[in-house]
């Protein structure tokens, strides 16, 4: 019987995950289908029950449910426990497991660039749901220092309680860094402008936006205008999907040139 997979979120209409996973299913002749489903919070227990009953074989979770889904799961992987963020769900030994592949997605996207971040300095902008995964990824990449700034200072301080090595800086306090990551929602709307003072930077920096739709943002435009390196969140999306696929099917599907031509540069 055809296996069913879902991405759940609200909104979820713009998600590219169905295209990506259905491409891999077809490529590997796997009899499965991946769909998107917009949910309300009160529907979360029922959707988890569908995994337990075997009606759904796997779920990706997106905004705003990555944390909210946790109470309904049987078990969390080490990484989803650490980040309190679940983006991948599957059944193993009759238990519904919540896992996190966003960390893998970010790490792999950086490794793909060939840029070495070991012993470098990062500045994370934002304190929302994706940030714990980025902190874990940067720790895995062995950065020397991680600064974090957020419009609402208190939320940044709360993150420091969980990740004591973070150094919190005030919004618009200019610190030197090698990589800056936009983890805010500023840029999701084409007209969004990021209110950060990035003019007086010394040397060439690496600007990474977790946003992939639209493919370029005010943050990335500012980088390009000033001659910095820039990258959007598309590869992170692709690689988190690749790792989710592996949890569900037991192997990593191919991300080759043909795949990237189809999904990276639209």
List residues with catalytic annotation: 66
State the residue number with the nearest CB to ligand ATR: 128
- Per CB under 6 A, the list member of 50, 77, 139, 185 interacting with ligand ATR is 185
Q: DSSP readout, 89-147? A: EEEETTEEEEE--HHHHHHHHHHHHT---TT-EEEEE--STTHHHHHHHHHHTT-SEEE
Check: CB of residue 129 under 8 Å from CB of residue 63: yes
Q: 176 or 195: whose CB is closer to ligand ATR?
A: 195
Q: 117 or 183: whose CB is closer to ligand ATR?
A: 183
| Dist. CA 243–CA 12, nearest whole Å | 20
Report in angstroms how near the CB of residue 171 gets to ligand ATR at its nearest.
Answer: 8
- Per CB under 6 A, the list member of 85, 100, 184, 240 interacting with ligand ATR is 184
Report in angstroms how near the CB of residue 124 gets to ligand ATR at its nearest.
Answer: 10
Q: DSSP readout, 231-246? A: E-THHHHHHHHHHHHH
Which string of x and - marks every residue 213-242 that binds ligand ATR (by CB under 6 A)? ------------------------------
Which residue, 229, 175, 230, 221, is CA-closest to 200? 175
> Which window, 50-58, 108-116, 145-153, 250-258, contacts ligand ATR (CB under 6 A)?
145-153
- Per CB under 6 A, the list member of 7, 127, 134, 255 interacting with ligand ATR is 127
**By CB under 6 A, residue 151 contacts ligand ATR:** yes
Q: If you ran DSSP here, which 8-state letter would residue 72 be given? A: G
> Which window, 48-56, 183-191, 209-217, 254-262, contacts ligand ATR (CB under 6 A)?
183-191
Check: CB of residue 109 under 8 Å from CB of residue 84: no
**By CB under 6 A, residue 37 contacts ligand ATR:** no
**By CB under 6 A, residue 198 contacts ligand ATR:** no
Q: Which residues pair with 233 in a beta bridge?
A: none
β-pairing, 95-99 with 88-92?
antiparallel
The helix/strand/coil state of 40 is coil
Interface residues with ligand ATR (CB under 6 A)? 64, 126-130, 150-152, 155, 184-186, 195
């Amino acid at each position: 019987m055809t296996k069913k997979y879902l991405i759940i979120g609200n909104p979820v209409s713009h998600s590219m995950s169905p295209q990506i996973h259905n491409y891999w299913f077809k490529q590997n002749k796997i009899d499965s289908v991946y769909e998107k489903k917009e949910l309300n919070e009160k529907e979360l227990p029922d959707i988890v029950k569908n995994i337990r009953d075997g009606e759904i074989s796997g779920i990706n979770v997106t905004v705003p449910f990555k944390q909210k889904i946790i109470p309904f799961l049987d078990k969390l992987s080490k990484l989803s426990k650490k980040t309190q963020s679940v983006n991948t769900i599957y059944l193993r030994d009759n238990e519904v497991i919540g896992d996190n592949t966003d960390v893998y997605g970010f790490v792999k996207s950086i490794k793909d660039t060939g840029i070495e971040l070991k012993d470098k300095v990062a500045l994370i902008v934002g304190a929302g749901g994706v940030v714990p995964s980025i902190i874990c990824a940067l720790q895995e990449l062995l950065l020397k220092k991680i600064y974090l700034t957020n419009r609402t200072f208190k939320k940044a301080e709360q993150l420091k309680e969980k990740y004591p090595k973070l150094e919190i800086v005030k919004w618009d306090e200019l610190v030197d860094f090698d990589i800056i990551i936009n983890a805010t929602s500023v840029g999701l709307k084409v007209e969004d402008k990021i209110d950060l003072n990035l003019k007086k930077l010394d040397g060439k920096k690496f600007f990474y936006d977790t946003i992939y739709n639209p493919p370029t943002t005010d943050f990335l435009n500012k980088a390009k205008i000033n001659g910095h390196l820039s990258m959007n969140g598309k590869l992170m999306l692709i690689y988190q999907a690749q790792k989710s696929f592996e949890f569900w099917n037991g192997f990593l599907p191919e991300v080759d040139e043909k795949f990237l031509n189809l999904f990276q540069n639209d």
